[in-house]
Structure 1
Amino acid sequence: MDTRFRRRTFLTAAGAAATATAVGDLAVATPAAAESAPEYVDVQLLNITDFHGYMQPPTPGQGGVITGADGVKITVGGAGYLATHLKRLREGRPNTIFFSSGDNFAGWPFEVDAHDNEPTIEILNALGLDFSTVGNHELDKSRSFLVDHIERGKPYPTVGRDTSFLDSTGQRFAGANFRFYNGNVVWTEDERPIVPPYNIEWVDAGRGRRLPIGFIHLTVEDTPTGSTSYQPSMKSLGIVATANRYAAELKRKGVHAIIVNIHDGGYAGDDYNAGSNPTGPIFELAAQASPDIAAIVAGHWHCRFNMMLPDPEGVLRPVVEAGNHGQVISEINLKLDRSGRVVRELTRSTNHAVTRDVPLDPEAQYIADYWSARGKRRYATPLARVTADFTRAADASGESTMGNLAADYLLWSAGRKSAGRADFALIATKPVKGSVAIAADLLHAKGTNPSDSDGQILFGEAWNAVGYGNPVLTVTMSGETVHRAIEQQWQTRSDGTVVFAPFAVSENVRYRFDLAKPVGSRVDPASVTISGEPLDLTAQYRVAALAYTLIGADGYTALTEFTDPFRGERDREGFISYLRAHPVLTPAPLGRATPVA
């Protein structure tokens, strides 16, 4: 092979054609001749990633504006526009494969999240998605939820209330018309993949012949320990080794056209259809993954790029990422020879902005509008009542009625399953860093929604008040660790100032603190009681908290020293269940944490 083709330069896809034609020593047809060569089979790959249920056009803050060449700003997104662009790209292309690089659901739009992600599946079915890798957010509930409910349509658990809602056609949710795959997230016990690691698609080669294309599916390596997808029963394998393993397996099966579809990515500048100064794990994979892999399609980073990068033998292949929220469609055009091998020198890729200057597809927009209207009705559903305000307004001890309510809910939630029972619960009300889990007050006075009344808490108000899609974990830690975690509510910054980042604790916990003492020594362990018993520094306690807090993302390092995690329900759904079980709430008196006089 011509050594000039081995140099590790980074090119945009637009520059790839010039590079391919310059390699005169290779025994291949020139691109111009190959375009019409009858022995080649044309295949079009279309990809989106990180849709997250954004059926309606996203606002600029949600990613509705992207950057093109020369810094030009382009308004993009919306399922109605996405459907139109897809139809135009597919037109006249018999061998088209449309797939996703994960995080299709677990969306942030209320109408999607509060309907168990079923709206997203309806729209992806309508768009004709063929398959997807498993993104980290597709495991936010569980593998069982993904396979049994999302794929197969099994109620999970209560029809019409928690799941299996009526879709835009009036039918109950029946599951996805496509499958999910992943190869590097495996069961800890035996390292079997949690879903099939790859799929083989067959394309029409004419004269009754078909040729296979293999798709290897991977996801970000921290998925089993990520704050929302946290799954103690799973672990992750390295993406490079896994990609190479399955590439070799597919090759042994006679599959010579191989694509990696991965829910991990990187950053390569702002131009959605180019790339410069690439950084991130996808580019490490591109440099190391088997030369038998013809293209790498990325996700997770919510970035947009289109590049041709050298494989370990120096041959260029596309590496693309399509942003998020329906901003971009990545298109890769392959030519297969008669043996089913990709003619790499003739591979082309481009990213298409999902612009809003095309007609809305009526079917897709109808689905989006149906779920938006249904979301408004669900938001306004009465759920519970309060006798007085629950607010995040904290006293001098950092305690608030809303914080205490959230901590009490966590303790209750953990106890719903015997394996999750906890000795106490805590929740970060004003963390050192990261996300705030208590996002709104629950007020007695009626709000602006026409369905509201004094004392009434609507479903949407409760949904938005506590949580951000995190599971409740119950973990084991020593009494000494518990004490250090309580002390870490006060932390010294690099400039010497002290930040106060209080917890809320469940109703069975009391402690005292002394601000006159140094940081790290403000809570006498003897003042801490749990269910009326003094804290034993040598004992083991079961503690309930959100995964985000326990993995250290809130800035309390002591809490990471846990063992035996048990994954319970997610925060938002759990808080809704708590209010259903406690339909009338009265704020508890403050005083769980008190200063020394």
Structure 2
Amino acid sequence: MTRRLTQGLAAAAIAGACAVSLAMPATASGHGPDSSGKGHGFDPTIPIQLLSYNDFHGNLEAPSGSGGRVVVDHKLDPTTGLPVDVTVDAGGAEYMSTHLKQLRKNKWSSFTVTAGDLIGASPLLSAAFHDEKTIDALSMMGTDASAVGNHEFDEGSTELLRMQKGGCLNDGDGANNQNSCPDGAGTYKGAKFAYLDANVIREDTGKTLLPSYTVKWKGGIPVAFVGLTLKETPDIVTASGIKGLKFEDEVKSANALVPVLKRRGINAMVILIHQGGNLPKEDWKGPDGKTYQVNPSYNYVCGKGGALAPDSPIIPIAKGLDPAYDAIVTGHTHQSYSCNIPDPKGQPRTVTSASSFGRQITETTLPFSLRTLDIVRSKVTTRDVIVTRDVAKDPKMTSLIASSQEKVAPIANKVLGTITTDVTKTQNAAGESPLGDLIADAQLADPSTVTGGKTPQIAFMNPGGIRADLPFAPDNGSVTFGDAFTVQPFNNYLVSLDLTGADIYALLNQQWNGTNAASPKVLQISKGFTYSWSAATKQVVPGSVKLNGAAIDQATSYRVVTNNFLQGGGDGFAAFTKGTGVYYGGLDIDGFAAYLQKVSPYTPAALDRITVQ
């Protein structure tokens, strides 16, 4: 049975290659059949094109600020003599769609895949419609398959299933600034691509929430795509969103599928995983002959003067995945890289990531052997393509965006207040940021969390929940609701609770320890709360934790406010779950918007709440 199937695949591939060779000349780059080959008059390996992206996060419009730029080179600043990044503007669905079409042109076997977080933490234009418009756009772009990312669970597993299958929500026609199916009942049809999660298991059935894999055929060649969600998802999403689900080991889940796929006669296999690597600073030799440490550029290549940071979570996963997998498409860390990480047999294997927000596409060429009906790993090549904005806009994307802009305009364009300068999420050496201060102060001031006469005294905000800067508008520094939503797009609820002083010490120490040891997460704190921490011990300095100048008493209870994500122990902050007297208030974005109106015009204060020794 398997022999007949593989013989059929070979015949289909040969027929497809011969058909294409009539319309497509041989090329030196290897993107077409080579008429100088032997046997059937073509090269025995046929190039499969794999186009991949990740972490789109609903960025239908071209992202602005640092989120819309890609580092392409470096130069020396003539004033300071120090290196600065050379960047280009990138991203936007209108341009991304055109780039994908151009890349696929004359490619007879092309697949478009992604490593997850297509939705969630999205700008208002997408989030206002429950990200339905993003799924529509990415379907229209020809996406074939995607891993499920942690942000796909932002509105819960039931909502994720709706994203795949379609249907409308009865959400009150705009309640909480959201509106499902704005074009009419039944207009959201679901994703035309396959969401995959081989390691997300329903506790009630023991089966995966969504399919583990999909087999796609293009040009007569079948390729299997296996999707994986990072197993740490329970630590970084709201607990209620994943209730009843287990997140199992990525390597074990993927390797168990290899014999299943081989029994189907499938040899070409690709992993799509929402987990990734981190990049260290890159060596750059300036025109003055000196070597500097600079931010990595978009075409960062491991093995050519660079390498992933040794604590990158994707490294042990890549080293453990079965050698049958031919390539690994990654995401989650929003980095740009193309690397080779050895498989369990010591053979190099391509591992890629294409930045985030639709700013980049990775093109991987997988030579498919007509003799072995498998990928020739030694001949796999990759290249990075920036989604530049110098190409024609796809009119279908333009129409989709314009329609959404019209519907969301009354909400998005409401001016909340003004700022006198950029308010950024960039953290100083101690971990404090101007925007973090502003958001924490807004949480503390929100009256919706006051209950039983208890008013919060301290606010905590997770840095990962601050998604963008507040840039100074060229006209008068105005800040709109759309601007504010881009900063805080999760629609989390503010929650007040009682923590003891001992709990607060434990909470602060969890910023650099436990699950945060490899990637510290310094919480942003409200005005009047201060402390110092030791860079040597990664611990809070005893006695330094103070509220309005008075030392925190570890035996005393304090009323704090945070968001429901942290209150549930998210981001590794288990100390929050020790809280008592839990009370849910309003949405975080509403509190932020109200505070901006109250403090306008706003000027950031000195960063003096957190100090490091």
| TM-score by shorter chain over 0.5 | yes
How many angstroms apart in 1 are the aligned matches of 2:398 and 2:547? 45
Q: Contact 1:431 / 1:501 at 8 angstroms: preserved in 2?
A: no
1:277 aligns with 2:298: no
Q: Deviations over 1:85-124 (max 9, x none)?
A: 1111111112211121111111431211222112212221
1:319 aligns with 2:351: yes
1:335 aligns with 2:335: no
1:406 aligns with 2:421: no
The correspondence for 2:135, drawn from 95, 98, 121, is 121
The correspondence for 1:217, drawn from 205, 227, 238, is 227
**Counterpart residue type for residue 271 of structure 1:** S
**Counterparts in 2 of 1:496-575, with a 5 A limit?**
498-500=544-546, 519-521=552-554, 523=556, 546-551=564-569, 558-561=575-578, 571=587
Other-structure match for 1:163 = 179
**Counterparts in 2 of 1:296-307, with a 5 A limit?**
296-307=328-339
Distance 1:499 1:312, change over 3 A: same
Deviation at 1:571, TM superposition (A): 3.9
Other-structure match for 1:183 = 198
How many angstroms apart in 2 are the aligned matches of 1:472 and 1:80? 33
SS at match of 2:367: strand
SS at match of 1:57: coil
How many angstroms apart in 1 are the aligned matches of 2:162 and 2:52? 25
1:94 aligns with 2:94: no
The correspondence for 1:37, drawn from 42, 51, 62, is 42
Q: Which stretch of structure 1 is more off in the superposition, 372-381 or 76-85?
A: 372-381
1:239 aligns with 2:260: no
**Counterpart residue type for residue 137 of structure 1:** H
Q: Which stretch of structure 1 is more off in the superposition, 154-163 or 334-343?
A: 154-163
Deviation at 1:342, TM superposition (A): 1.3
Deviation at 1:214, TM superposition (A): 0.9
The correspondence for 2:405, drawn from 365, 372, 380, is 372
Deviation at 1:265, TM superposition (A): 0.7
SS at match of 1:498: coil
SS at match of 2:112: strand
How many angstroms apart in 1 are the aligned matches of 2:194 and 2:462? 37
Distance 1:400 1:191, change over 3 A: same
SS at match of 2:103: helix
Give the structure with higher Rg (CA).
1
How many angstroms apart in 2 are the aligned matches of 1:426 and 1:239? 44
The correspondence for 1:55, drawn from 55, 60, 63, is 60
The correspondence for 2:389, drawn from 356, 376, 393, is 356
Other-structure match for 1:583 = none
**Counterpart residue type for residue 135 of structure 1:** G
Deviation at 1:324, TM superposition (A): 0.2
Other-structure match for 1:595 = none
How many angstroms apart in 2 are the aligned matches of 1:324 and 1:401? 29
Distance 1:367 1:293, change over 3 A: same
Distance 1:557 1:492, change over 3 A: farther
Distance 1:320 1:425, change over 3 A: farther
The correspondence for 2:187, drawn from 172, 176, 185, is 172
Other-structure match for 2:14 = none
Other-structure match for 2:490 = 469
Identity rate of aligned residues, in percent? 26
How many angstroms apart in 1 are the aligned matches of 2:494 and 2:262? 42
Other-structure match for 1:290 = 322
**Counterpart residue type for residue 179 of structure 1:** A
**Counterpart residue type for residue 67 of structure 2:** Q
Q: Deviations over 1:563-591 (max 9, x none)?
A: 9x99x999459989xx9xxxxxxxxxxxx
Q: Deviations over 1:235-292 (max 9, x none)?
A: 2111122221122322233211110001111024523232322131222222221110
Distance 1:73 1:471, change over 3 A: closer
**Counterpart residue type for residue 62 of structure 1:** G
Distance 1:473 1:220, change over 3 A: farther
SS at match of 1:431: strand
Q: Contact 1:151 / 1:179 at 8 angstroms: preserved in 2?
A: no
How many angstroms apart in 1 are the aligned matches of 2:363 and 2:267? 20
Deviation at 1:400, TM superposition (A): 8.4
Distance 1:31 1:341, change over 3 A: farther
Q: Contact 1:491 / 1:519 at 8 angstroms: preserved in 2?
A: no
How many angstroms apart in 2 are the aligned matches of 1:378 and 1:400? 20
Other-structure match for 1:254 = 265
**Counterpart residue type for residue 57 of structure 2:** H
Q: Contact 2:234 / 2:570 at 8 angstroms: preserved in 1?
A: no
Q: Deviations over 1:363-405 (max 9, x none)?
A: 223323332343322335899xxxxxxxxxxxxxx99896352
Other-structure match for 1:26 = none
Deviation at 1:32, TM superposition (A): 9.1
Q: Contact 1:221 / 1:237 at 8 angstroms: preserved in 2?
A: yes
SS at match of 1:305: strand
Q: Contact 2:461 / 2:562 at 8 angstroms: preserved in 1?
A: no
**Counterpart residue type for residue 94 of structure 1:** W
Q: Contact 2:274 / 2:330 at 8 angstroms: preserved in 1?
A: yes
How many angstroms apart in 2 are the aligned matches of 1:48 and 1:181? 15
1:110 aligns with 2:124: yes
Distance 1:248 1:430, change over 3 A: same
Q: Contact 1:182 / 1:219 at 8 angstroms: preserved in 2?
A: yes
TM-score of the pair, normalised by structure 2: 0.64
Q: Contact 2:494 / 2:586 at 8 angstroms: preserved in 1?
A: no
SS at match of 1:310: coil
Q: Deviations over 1:507-534 (max 9, x none)?
A: xxxxxxxx76x532573x6xx99xxxxx
1:431 aligns with 2:447: no
The unaligned stretches of length 5 or more in structure 1 are 1-29, 206-210, 384-397, 412-422, 441-446, 451-457, 503-514, 530-542, 580-597
- Root-mean-square deviation (Å): 4.7
Distance 1:176 1:336, change over 3 A: same
**Counterpart residue type for residue 226 of structure 1:** I
How many angstroms apart in 2 are the aligned matches of 1:199 and 1:98? 13
Q: Contact 1:105 / 1:138 at 8 angstroms: preserved in 2?
A: yes
Distance 1:90 1:281, change over 3 A: same
Q: Contact 1:225 / 1:232 at 8 angstroms: preserved in 2?
A: no
The correspondence for 2:211, drawn from 190, 196, 200, is 196
SS at match of 2:228: strand
